[in-house]
Amino acid sequence: MFRKSVFAALSALVAIALVAGVPSASANTTDIVDTAVAAGNFTTLVAAVQAAGLVDTLKGEGPFTVFAPTDDAFAKLPEGTVEALLADKETLTKILTYHVVAGKGMASDVVNVETADTVAGIPLKIKVMDGNVWINDAKVVVTDIEASNGVIHVIDTVIVPAS
């Protein structure tokens, strides 16, 4: 039953990605940063990656799995939070690296895992509930946007490690 619900959730997410016009995953020859820039809905994330000095890392060989919050996800944070994070490189880096897992984790891999170790050294919880895939409290809304050095999964909430 679990595998069927995971498969159904992943199938739905792939269908959403296709309807949303996400480029063909296998055809992407750009790195994670350039893929995020080209998508157009990760401007806050890209600005944060730049402020934290992580551009070269995320343009590196990888592979990386990035759970990428959209601009709308950042907009849900309390007023002033983004600006405060941009001014606090250490905290910003911890939060951003909490969104990154070493290795290329495709959506189909979620069937076999309940946690994923992040680059920040703090594990993420992965669950399937009501036909949706969740990373902690963030809903995965688009999966498997492949880049030359990894994969991006779009999430609807900025995930913050416990203090």
Domains in the chain and their CATH numbers? 2-155 (2.30.180.10)
Residue of 84 and 28 predicted with greater confidence: 84
Q: What is the pLDDT of residue 18?
A: 33
Residue of 132 and 11 predicted with greater confidence: 132
Q: The whole model's pTM is what? A: 0.83
Q: What is the pLDDT of residue 109?
A: 84
Give kind and range of the element (H or E) at residue 84: helix 81-87
Instruction: Give Rg (Cα) of the chain.
Output: 15
Residue 151 has pLDDT above 60, yes or no: yes
Answer positive or negative: Cα dihedral of 27, 32, 33, 38.
positive
First to last CA, the chain: 35
Residue 9 has pLDDT above 90, yes or no: no
- DSSP reduced 3-state for 138: strand
Answer positive or negative: Cα dihedral of 23, 29, 31, 33.
negative
Model confidence pLDDT, tens digit, residues 35-77: 999 999 999 999 999 999 999 999 999 999 999 999 999 999 9
Residue 134 has pLDDT above 70, yes or no: yes
* pLDDT level of residue 23 (50, 70, 90 thresholds): very low
CA separation for the pair 134, 136 (Å, rounded)? 6
Lowest mean pLDDT among 6-20, 47-61, 127-141: 6-20
Of residues 101, 130, 140, the one with CA closest to residue 17: 140
